[in-house]
Amino acid sequence: MLIPPVSIAIIGAGPAGLMAAQVLSEAGLQVDLFDAMPSVGRKFLLAGRGGLNLTHSEPYEAFVSRYGARQSNIAPLLQDFGADALRAWATELGVETFIGTSGRVFPKEMKAAPLLRSWLQRLRHPGMGGVPVRFHMRHRLVDWAPVAEGGGGDFRFQTPAGEVCVQANVAVLALGGASWPRLGSDGAWAPWLAKHGIDVAPLIPANCGFDVALTAARRTEQTEPHANEAAQPQEGGWSAYFRQRFAGQPLKSVAITVQGDDDAPAFYRRGEFVVTTTGVEGSLVYAASALLRDELAARGSATMLLDLLPAHTSTQVLSAVQAPRDGQSLANHLRRRLRLDGVKTALLHELLPRESLRDHDLLARAIKALPVILAAPRPIEEAISTAGGVRFEALDEALQIKRVPGVFCAGEMLDWEAPTGGYLLTACMASGVRAARGVLAMETKAA
């Protein structure tokens, strides 16, 4: 079914698409916003369950460095719409923000829903000079063909009423990555763009958890099949005992080091993460995930060194380990001397051979640098975000596809990645602003 052509189509109602719609709507242009889901901002709302980390308060130089190899591409976008602009935008919507102890910025209510409601109200009622955005929900994009002349494209959507074809003079694609596909981002767009000669880097998990490799305790478990009825081959490297007792528990006040090619630390940070049924996940692991993921891709395995007591020196740890036990078990000795217990002590038993637990020097070194060998990243569907996407080399400065005039890209579908901490949301919204301004420049030139 064909419907009348639209002037400007935005496809994807996540933060990037909504921000592009706001800029264009308030400039007096009619915008038609299409999305596969029944309501907008599904992933935005999910992110808000933990408090909605909007952005970060650190200085600009540190902020832009979080975008790694793509910081030169993201920096101009942040100059247009950075952390301060995002906070001012939230204030305009009636949502006050505050800076947490980690430097992260949150809404005072610590919820995403009130902010999204205010945002949608603004899009539907943009005020004097603005044009209300027209929303088209349950429109799942299933194909796209560029228009040979004049720019834009023909977009084919699957809807509850059947297939709908829409011709748009100008379009902003904000289709997301491939994480959390049940919320609308499934990466299905990648082959459609690639078949038109648009350079798309493969989508891979970012800010993801990892499965651990076979552990020392698991190897022992497999050689003693009658010791535990549950000791059967299972997913992941943890032993049945460790998985059943400690999956879901946090490792707090620890540090992770990832060594570089020259044996110098390529990454070091304190924080916390969580033990899962198959491995590890959480904020500290996410911060190192790009390095670990790339190491796995290059070499088939990756190792992170876990400091269980970063506030203690190696000398302090060795002295405590060497102290007389007075007949106590190793677990009680470590708890009494170092306050090391629970999941931390269990990790030592899980990852170290038994002989290492009896050697004071080896045990002390392990407490300060316990090798955790990783076997694979978790599936892309579970990742917080994705890397890969439309390469910036395929776009002009306005994020317009060079090969397809009148079609712009924004958000997570671009080839960049960043750690959690507000960097993802800020860059997504900044790219929506940049793409919208590119559309405005095109419309002004056409007029």
Amino acid at 127: G
pLDDT in tens, 374-425: 999 999 999 999 999 999 999 999 999 999 999 999 999 999 999 999 999 9
> Pick from 254, 339, 245, 356: which is nearest to 331 by CA?
339
Most confidently modeled range among 145-149, 152-156, 215-219: 152-156
Residue 217 is predicted with a pLDDT of: 81
What are the sequence ranges of the domains in the chain? Answer: 6-205+386-446, 210-377
What is the distance between the alpha carbons of residues 350 and 159, in angstroms, rounded to a whole number? 51
What is the distance between the alpha carbons of residues 186 and 380, in angstroms, rounded to a whole number? 10
Residue 445 is predicted with a pLDDT of: 78
Residues 6+ apart with CB under 8 A from 69: none
What percent of the chain shows pLDDT beyond 90? 78
* CATH fold for domain 6-205+386-446: FAD/NAD(P)-binding domain (3.50.50)
Beta bridge partners of 268: 257
Reported confidence tier of residue 228, pLDDT bands at 50, 70, 90: very low
- Does the structure show a pLDDT above 70 at 447? no
Residue 231 is predicted with a pLDDT of: 43
Beta bridge partners of 146: 153
Tokens describing residue 391: 């390469």
